[in-house]
Amino acid sequence: MVTSLSGPVQAPPFDLYRPGLSASLPTILDNAPVALRHPRSRAGFAITAASVAGYRAALDALGFTEVHTPKIVATATESSPTTTT
Q: Is the pLDDT of residue 82 over 60?
A: no
Residue 16 falls inside a structural domain: no
Residue 50 falls inside a structural domain: yes
Count Cβ atoms within 10 A of the Cβ of residue 31 and give its class: 0-12 exposed, 13-18 middle, 19 or more buried. Answer: middle
Residue 36 falls inside a structural domain: yes
Residue 79 falls inside a structural domain: no
Residues 31 and 11: beta-carbon distance below 8 Å = no
Band (63; pLDDT cuts 50, 70, 90): very high
Residue 7 falls inside a structural domain: no
Residue 53 falls inside a structural domain: yes
Q: Is the pLDDT of residue 78 over 80?
A: no
Instruction: Report pLDDT for 56.
Output: 95
Domain extent for 34: 25-61
The structural domain count of the chain equals 1
- List, for residues 4-50, the tens digit of each pLDDT value: 888 878 887 888 788 888 888 898 889 888 888 888 888 889 999 99
Average pLDDT over residues 42-69: 94
Residue 29 falls inside a structural domain: yes
